[in-house]
Amino acid sequence: MSNSFKDKKVVTLAYGCQMSERDAETLTEISAQEGYSQTNDLESADLIIINTCCVRESAENKILGKIGELKRLKEKNPRLKIAVSGCMVQQPGALERLQHRAPHVDIWTGTHNLSEFGCFIRQAEEDQKVAEVWKEPGPALEATPLAEKGKLKANVNISYGCNNFCTYCIVPYVRGRERSRKPEDILREAQKLVESGCKEITLLGQNVNSYGQDLDMTYDFADLLKKVDEIPGLLLIRFLTSHPKDLSDKLIETVAAGKHLCPHFHLPIQAGSNEILKRMNRKYTREYYLERIKKIREIIPESSITTDIIVGFPGETEEDFEQTLDIIDKVHYSQAFTFMYSKRSGTPAAKMKDQIPLDVKKRRLQQLMDLQNDQSLEWRKKMLGKNYDVLVEGPSKSNPDRLTGRTAGNELVVFPGDPALKGSLVKVHMMEAHSWTLLGEIIKG
């Protein structure tokens, strides 16, 4: 370690999905092993890590803007090192373009070689520029402990990569094929988190429902969930994402029978028209999807269902779009993440004819959001007057006099209470509903 780097501080900026966030935590932990303590203050940092996302062009533009801004800090503080990692760097052919655009960056690294990051930091400290992006996945970083001990909520990867190749999506190209972690490694990581104070775990995979298919074992995601549910001290167990094509009755029944398994399914529909679903290579029809929803509601009537939807996929007609609105009407999602289709270079959809003009995409997105906001409010209104278990996360950011937490269905709740309740499950009576939150009151006893 270079002597000139004492009392070193790191800021990590994470963009994108929960997987990307988990990678950012791993990079922060590796930097801690190299002697860096965490700060939020960019001005006093010796190392700034930007873990990137490239799922949509808007995310890329935002990140490029941030990297550009950091040039000013580097001019003020020449000992500052900047590392840019993750999906954006991993895109085929991206590295050269990025290096040309941001020569002030010291370390460029992709999604596959996280395990090398400590070595890259040491090289940068010796004023060497590093640019290493492996084409294939490197050794999995097993159960990398989290830098921040005593976290209430944590994400645990159960698999990396994706085999589905939806035609709009860059993920399989930047995260490789699906690789499931061994059950014993996942359980060990979850156990350690609980020992350090964690009460809520989210199991992460691009498609959790296909967990284990690449391992030589007759053990599936439902079996894994049952095992995680046996860990004493864990209060809430969440999971995402569920690809509808692989959502089994066994999984729904396992969630129904679980002690701490949250009755919440994040089941991206992406589009409501069979023609568009086919062109997206989603491998299910709207009829099949609606049948899965019916099954969930038959087995767990109170379960919360959320989704992802893309508007303006190439060739989407007004009739196709109406079919998406119709799905929203039929399913009653508690929440939907809605996106305008974004052309991703190297994916099949980027070359499809009939790309949809931006103004049409914008109009459809607004229409979709208006409908979903009404639906989300309706969903929350149905919760009024009832009591729900809520894990207290601490004082609300927007109103420090109130506490916040989430229900098992992942609904955000704000309520008055003692900050010492952080980390405990309380019963909250729901009093007022808004599109994104509920206001409530703790029930004693």
Binding site for ligand SF4 (CB under 6 A): 162, 164-166, 169, 171-172, 206-207, 243
Closest listed residue to residue 106, CA positions, set 98, 114, 441: 98
| 124 vs 240, beta carbon nearer ligand SAM | 240
| DSSP for 21-79, written as a single string | HHHHHHHHHHHHHTTEEE-S-GGG-SEEEEEE--SSHHHHHHHHHHHHHHHHHHHH-TT
Look at residue 310 and give the partner it binds from ligand SAM, ligand SF4, none, a contact being a CB closer than 5 to 8 Å depending on partner kind.
ligand SAM
**Sequence letter at residue 388:** Y
Look at residue 172 and give the partner it binds from ligand SF4, ligand SAM, none, a contact being a CB closer than 5 to 8 Å depending on partner kind.
ligand SF4
**# chain residues binding ligand SAM, by CB under 6 A:** 18
Beta carbons of 204 and 157 less than 8 angstroms apart: yes
Q: Is 157 in the site for ligand SAM (CB under 6 A)?
A: no
Look at residue 423 and give the partner it binds from ligand SF4, ligand SAM, none, a contact being a CB closer than 5 to 8 Å depending on partner kind.
none
| DSSP for 99-165, written as a single string | HHH-TT-SEEE-SS-GGGHHHHHHHHHTT--EEE--SS-----TTPPPSSTT-SEEEEESEES-S--
Q: Is 55 in the site for ligand SAM (CB under 6 A)?
A: yes
Q: Is 168 in the site for ligand SAM (CB under 6 A)?
A: yes
Minimum Å distance from CB 289 to ligand SAM? Answer: 13
Cα(79)–Cα(216) distance, rounded to whole angstroms?
49
Judged by CB under 6 A, which of 113, 155, 167, 241 binds ligand SAM? 241
Which residues between 171 and 200 bind ligand SAM (CB under 6 A)?
Answer: 171
Cα(207)–Cα(189) distance, rounded to whole angstroms?
20
| 177 vs 188, beta carbon nearer ligand SAM | 177
Judged by CB under 6 A, which of 10, 14, 17, 225 binds ligand SAM? 17
DSSP reduced 3-state for 313: coil
Minimum Å distance from CB 39 to ligand SF4? Answer: 33
Tokens of 52: 């990137």
| 253 vs 308, beta carbon nearer ligand SAM | 308
| 260 vs 286, beta carbon nearer ligand SF4 | 286
| 283 vs 363, beta carbon nearer ligand SF4 | 283
Q: Which residue has the tokens 């950091």?
A: 70
Beta carbons of 425 and 391 less than 8 angstroms apart: yes
Judged by CB under 6 A, which of 175, 199, 243, 292 binds ligand SAM? 243
Judged by CB under 6 A, which of 26, 209, 273, 342 binds ligand SAM? 342
Neighbours of 424 (CB within 10 A): 13
Look at residue 225 and give the partner it binds from ligand SF4, ligand SAM, none, a contact being a CB closer than 5 to 8 Å depending on partner kind.
none
Look at residue 165 and give the partner it binds from ligand SF4, ligand SAM, none, a contact being a CB closer than 5 to 8 Å depending on partner kind.
ligand SF4
| 251 vs 310, beta carbon nearer ligand SAM | 310
Cα(20)–Cα(175) distance, rounded to whole angstroms?
10
Look at residue 327 and give the partner it binds from ligand SF4, ligand SAM, none, a contact being a CB closer than 5 to 8 Å depending on partner kind.
none
Q: Is 267 in the site for ligand SAM (CB under 6 A)?
A: no
| 212 vs 405, beta carbon nearer ligand SF4 | 212
- Three-state SS string over 256-295 comes to HHCCCECCEEECCCECCCHHHHHHCCCCCCHHHHHHHHHH
Q: Is 206 in the site for ligand SAM (CB under 6 A)?
A: yes
Minimum Å distance from CB 265 to ligand SAM? Answer: 12
Q: Is 270 in the site for ligand SAM (CB under 6 A)?
A: yes
Residues 322-341 vs ligand SAM: string with x where CB under 6 A?
A: -----------------x-x
Query: Phi-psi bin for 215: left (phi > 0), alpha (psi -120 to 50), beta?
Result: beta
Cα(440)–Cα(433) distance, rounded to whole angstroms?
9
Look at residue 304 and give the partner it binds from ligand SAM, ligand SF4, none, a contact being a CB closer than 5 to 8 Å depending on partner kind.
none
| 298 backbone dihedrals φ, ψ, rounded to 5° | -70, -45
Q: Which residue is nearest to ligand SAM (CB)?
A: 308
| 120 vs 333, beta carbon nearer ligand SF4 | 333
Query: Which pairing describes strands 47-52 and 8-14: parallel, antiparallel, or unpaired?
Result: parallel
Question: E strands, 169-222, where?
Answer: 179-180, 200-204
Stretch of residues binding ligand SAM (CB under 6 A), selected from 137-145, 167-175, 190-198, 368-376: 167-175
Cα(138)–Cα(225) distance, rounded to whole angstroms?
27
According to DSSP, the residues that pair with 3 across neighbouring strands are: none
Where do contacts with ligand SAM occur on this chain (CB under 6 A)?
A: 17, 55-56, 168-169, 171, 206-207, 241, 243, 268, 270, 308, 310, 339, 341-342, 344
